[in-house]
Amino acid sequence: GQQLNQSPQSMFIQEGEDVSMNCTSSSIFNTWLWYKQDPGEGPVLLIALYKAGELTSNGRLTAQFGITRKDSFLNISASIPSDVGIYFCAGQRINYGGGADGLTFGKGTHLIIQP
Partner 1 sequence: GAVVSQHPSWVICKSGTSVKIECRSLDFQATTMFWYRQFPKQSLMLMATSNEGSKATYEQGVEKDKFLINHASLTLSTLTVTSAHPEDSSFYICSAPGTTHTYEQYFGPGTRLTVT
Contact between 59 and partner 1 (CB under 8 A)? no
Which listed residue (26, 40, 114, 115) binds partner 1 by CB under 8 A? 40
By C-beta, is 1 or 115 nearer to partner 1? 1
Q: In this structure, what are the phi and psi dihedrals at residue 81, rounded to the nearest 5 degrees?
A: -55, -35
| DSSP sequence for 60-73 | TEEEEE-TTSSEEE
Which listed residue (16, 28, 45, 78) binds partner 1 by CB under 8 A? 45
CA–CA dist 91, 85 (Å, integer):
20
CA–CA dist 56, 112 (Å, integer):
24
Contact between 65 and partner 1 (CB under 8 A)? no
Contact between 72 and partner 1 (CB under 8 A)? no
The amino acid at 16? G
Contact between 34 and partner 1 (CB under 8 A)? no
Q: Please state the closest distance from residue 17 (CB atom) to partner 1, in A.
A: 24
Contact between 21 and partner 1 (CB under 8 A)? no
Contact between 88 and partner 1 (CB under 8 A)? yes
Q: Please state the closest distance from residue 100 (CB atom) to partner 1, in A.
A: 4
Give CA torsion, residues 94, 96, 44, 20, to 10 deg. 20
Residue 83: CB atoms within 10 Å: 18
